[in-house]
Amino acid sequence: MLTAVLVVEGVLRIPGTEGHYDTGWGLYQALVKNSRLHLLSHTWTEQDIALWLTKRHLTGHQSYLHAPEPGPAGRLEVLQRVRAWRIGALVIESDPACATAETSAGWNTALVTPAFQGPQQPTPSPQEVRPWTDLAGAVERQHDLRLFPHSTEQP
């Protein structure tokens, strides 16, 4: 059975609001029925997120994981703590910087980017094109991390 970690902010919950994304709601429903689903957030306590989820009839996930801080460092700290649980089949993420860090650390990551739902259009940020050799090296490193997850050597 697939094990998945779904990041609440940006995938399920609209950041800075009480609202949710319909796509995230549907994704939660599908994953909770067909996987061992864990939720990860840095914003709310377990009690706050439980209330928010209950109001939306989102129940059945395995656990709630609280990141100590926002961003890649907080996410990786939580994921490293739960690696022994054999979690790691898939991390569903909305932050490209976090997804990059998670992928570099050997996690399979799906990046979800909900359509903008606000009064102003977001300002696009320029992104640097990554050379193919860097991408191939990253894939090889992920493969090595899956084979040897506790290795401290950096290729």
Tens digits of per-residue pLDDT, 42-61?
A: 988 888 889 999 998 899 99
pLDDT at 119 over 70: no
- Number of neighbouring beta carbons within 10 Å of residue 19: 11
DSSP string over 25-84: HHHHHHHHHHEEEEEEESSS-HHHHHHHHHHTT----SEEEE-SSSHHHHHHHHHHHHGG
Answer for the pair 89, 108: CB distance below 8 angstroms, yes or no. yes
Which pLDDT score, from 0 to 100, does residue 150 have? Answer: 62
Query: What value does the mean pLDDT take over residues 116-125?
Result: 50
Q: Which two tokens stand for residue 143?
A: 């493969």
Domains of the chain, residue spans: 2-115+124-147
Q: Over the stretch 2-12, which tens digit does the pLDDT of each residue have?
A: 889 999 999 99
Cα–Cα distance measured from residue 7 to residue 82, given in angstroms and rounded to the nearest whole number: 14
Q: How far is CA 131 from CA 128, 136, 138, 140, in A?
A: 9, 9, 11, 15
Answer for the pair 4, 34: CB distance below 8 angstroms, yes or no. no
Mean pLDDT of the chain: 82
pLDDT at 128 over 50: yes
Domain 2-115+124-147: CATH architecture, name and number where available: 3-Layer(aba) Sandwich (3.40)
Which pLDDT score, from 0 to 100, does residue 121 have? Answer: 45
Answer for the pair 61, 39: CB distance below 8 angstroms, yes or no. yes
Answer for the pair 42, 70: CB distance below 8 angstroms, yes or no. yes
- In the three-class reduction of DSSP (H, G, I as helix; E, B as strand; rest coil), residue 41 is classed as strand
